[in-house]
Amino acid sequence: MRRPKSRASRKQQKNNEVQEIDILKEWIESQKPESGSNPLALDPLKSKSPIGRIVDPESGAVSFSSYAGARKFYELPISKRTKNGLERGGFKKMTDIQVASLPHALCGRDILGAAKTGSGKTLAFVIPVLEKLHRERWGPEDGVGSIIISPTRELAGQIFDVLKTVGKYHTFSAGLLIGGRKDVDVEKERVNELNILICTPGRLLQHMDETPNFDCSQLQVLVLDEADRILDIGFKKTLNAIVSQLPKHRQTLLFSATQTKSVQDLARLSLKDPEYISVHEKAVTATPNRLQQTAMIVPLEQKLDMLWSFIKAHLRSKILVFLSSCKEVKFVFEAFKKLRPGIPLKCLHGRMKQEVRLGIYSQFCESRSVLFSTDVASRGLDFNKAVDWVVQVDCPEDVASYIHRVGRTARYLSGGRSILFLMPSEMKMLEKLQAAKVPIQFIKANTKRLEPVSKLLSALLVKYPDMQQLAQRAFITYLRSIFIQKDKEIFDVTKLPIDDYSASLGLPMTPKVRFLNQKKKSKNESEKSTLVESETLDMENESAIAKEELLVEDVKEDKDFLLKDTPDLGEGNANETGDIMSATRILKKKKLKINVHRPVGTRVVFDEEGNTQAPLAMLAEKTSGEIQLDQDKKKEYYKKMREELKQVDKEDKLLERQRLRENRMKKKMKLKKGQREDDEEDDISGSEGEADANKKRKRSKIYFHSDSEEEIKADSISLAEQEQLALKLLNSMHS
């Protein structure tokens, strides 16, 4: 058992620490690397040269060792606590990105760091975070000192683990704030006591919005891991809202394997003269050297056969398989599981519960198995024991996405292999990869060793009716994922052999897909007319909406795309119900789309060519490529709009009043005419008493509506009064 430290020894420790911090500050300041320099290009320190504070024994002069050329962690101006943590994690020598970025980051500069996957970027930001707070002597009462944002929960969890290892001997409190966990209320109670937050963007914003007294005003360091992903359109609004609540005076560190240099993005984050550190910019390849990459042509209808054969041929490997949608992952996982390939199977996608996701992730880290996944596992994840194979069954959306997917293997010093299935229509992707310095070898598939699974799948679908639905959904969502891709050079849904594809999933009939039919229809029409351009615009619009939906809902309502005659393979008269249901879904979808396009109260402005524009776009001025909006012009525009609206409102009200008056007059005239006839009738037939009763009955049905919508019963006023009222109304109409 460790003996509790005495007060004196605690005091001594504190003094030592204060002394250490003073030395570190002096060291950092005196040996700052030149801004814009690349420490990787400097010669390493000589092996026996003194490190840190050096006192000349003769003159007593004090100097410090240069840390810009450091190759080992102990040569850096970092605290003993961090050094101990690094040692505990087994980290001694720095990787290239660490050598290049740590000297700049330690002296407080903003960093824009790019390095290949698996090259150690996590430590490149975790160390500066710990050191900054240590030097500032950050304590529990100081609140949030650093925020590290990651695009996925699993990655956030992984960063948290690294922080726990390296920061083990520090006293900071750190918290993992990720969505999907139920304990948000517990988090709310504790979040204000945390010094380092590791979070996903959504959960951070939730705390900013909902947690009382949540305070980031003292923030020292902001980190964006997988920065290009966090800065892209999917997180744009969330990130902007987060950044607007952070102090501008802070250090910002951005890291990714595929980095952004977009000035607009950097402006959003208010980076101050960032250091651009791209250690592998001049490298011959964009991917790790130990990664062997291959691609081969696999027609859509053979993809599952090929995947099945591949798995059967690699039963002793750890394989990560990428598919494009949750529903595909679900179907392939469930179907292959039932077919028992002889290796454990797992699946991971964004629609799984958080606890399950984390469980699967750690199981896959530990054991030999096949993990079917969407792109949720494509970035940043460092599976403990090396992944042997990354198989991309569905083509990635772009080169960056490819690089991140294959980056799950061949990490740090280990090797790895990857294979990409490309359909004949996707061959352009190969060119793009080669142009982006991805050394990918094209191989021919050995079809002799292909083990077809389609027949097995058909039998499976008959045996398990639930699987039919899964297969249909997988079918629809795959087509939809192709449909919404931006790069139409590679992804062309019309070129897909959809009947063969449907059969390859074991489906007895091809489900009809609304968006495909629409596209065909509009194509035919466009052939007749020359309105090709407007059709393309429509398609882009559709695809943008579909993508938005896919991002938000993760293909939640694929059923909406099933047409009325979707084959229903269930029992009994389910077909009939299915028909009705899908019809209502189509209607619902149409309605929803109106809302998706145009939230209530938005105004659509068209330019001279009839294209829609943002309402203020016409006011903007374009100077040297940047769009600028004059604030005065904007105010004036809004004022004018308000006045216009008021005027239109007035006119509308006037018109409505007139319409009501006219209606009333018509009714009155009718009434008058009716009464005259009544009187005549009365004169001709019946007794006096009967005539009176009749009059009363008829009159009691009549209601007048005043402008103020009050109701006046007709039989409460006399005929003479009614006539007088009618006259008055007539006069007022003409006046």
Ligand X SMILES: Nc1ncnc2c1ncn2[C@@H]1O[C@H](COP(=O)(O)OP(=O)(O)OP(=O)(O)O)[C@@H](O)[C@H]1O
Count the residues of the shown chain that bind ligand X, applying the rule CB under 6 A.
Answer: 19
Strand (E) positions, 287-330? 291-297, 319-322
Partners of 626 in the β-ladder:
623
Q: Quick one: 291 or 358, whose CB is closer to ligand X? A: 291
Stretch of residues binding ligand X (CB under 6 A), selected from 137-145, 289-297, 331-339, 407-415:
407-415
Instruction: Identify residue 459 by its one-letter amino acid code.
Output: A
The Cβ-side half-sphere exposure at 224, using a 13 Å CA radius, reads 30
Nearest-approach distance from CB 379 to ligand X, in angstroms = 6
Nearest-approach distance from CB 407 to ligand X, in angstroms = 4
Q: Quick one: 125 or 308, whose CB is closer to ligand X? A: 125
Q: CB 546: neighbour CB atoms within 10 A?
A: 19
Per CB under 6 A, which of residues 80..99 are in contact with ligand X? Answer: 91, 93-95, 98
Pick from 407, 506, 511, 578: which binds ligand X (CB under 6 A)? 407
Q: Quick one: 207 or 411, whose CB is closer to ligand X? A: 411
Stretch of residues binding ligand X (CB under 6 A), selected from 116-124, 280-288, 344-352, 394-402:
116-124
405 part of the interface to ligand X, by CB under 6 A: no
Per CB under 6 A, which of residues 148..187 are in contact with ligand X? Answer: none
Q: Quick one: 45 or 505, whose CB is closer to ligand X? A: 45
First to last CA, the chain: 103
Distances (CA, A) of 721 to 440, 492, 706, 728: 96, 76, 16, 10
Q: Quick one: 94 or 474, whose CB is closer to ligand X? A: 94
| Residue closest to ligand X, measured at CB | 120
Instruction: Identify residue 690 by its one-letter amino acid code.
Output: E
The Cβ-side half-sphere exposure at 363, using a 13 Å CA radius, reads 14
39 part of the interface to ligand X, by CB under 6 A: no
Nearest-approach distance from CB 253 to ligand X, in angstroms = 12
Report DSSP state, residue 426: G
Pick from 257, 321, 390, 423: which binds ligand X (CB under 6 A)? 257
Take residue 113 and report the two structure tokens written for it: 């760091």
User: Site map for ligand X, 322-361, x if CB under 6 A?
Assistant: ----------------------------------------
Place of tokens 């009994």: 572
Nearest-approach distance from CB 166 to ligand X, in angstroms = 10
412 part of the interface to ligand X, by CB under 6 A: yes
DSSP assignment string, 341-408? -SS-EEEE-TTS-HHHHHHHHHHHHHS--EEEE-GGGSSS---SSPB-EEEESSPPSSHHHHHHHHTT
Nearest-approach distance from CB 349 to ligand X, in angstroms = 19
Instruction: Identify residue 201 by its one-letter amino acid code.
Output: P
Take residue 399 and report the two structure tokens written for it: 């080169």
Q: Quick one: 11 or 385, whose CB is closer to ligand X? A: 385
Alpha-carbon span 328 to 344, nearest angstrom: 18
38 part of the interface to ligand X, by CB under 6 A: no
Pick from 411, 417, 473, 519: which binds ligand X (CB under 6 A)? 411
- Scored b (16 or more CB within 10 A) or e, 112-132 reads bbbbbbbbbbbbbbbbbbbbb
Partners of 548 in the β-ladder:
none
Pick from 123, 377, 569, 671: which binds ligand X (CB under 6 A)? 123
Pick from 117, 206, 211, 325: which binds ligand X (CB under 6 A)? 117
| Maximum CA extent, the chain | 140
Q: Quick one: 117 or 582, whose CB is closer to ligand X? A: 117
Alpha-carbon span 611 to 683, nearest angstrom: 70
User: Site map for ligand X, 365-384, x if CB under 6 A?
Assistant: ---------------x-x--
253, containing H or E segment: strand 251-256
Stretch of residues binding ligand X (CB under 6 A), selected from 7-15, 17-25, 405-413, 634-642:
405-413
The footprint of ligand X (CB under 6 A) covers: 91, 93-95, 98, 115, 117-123, 257, 380, 382, 407, 411-412
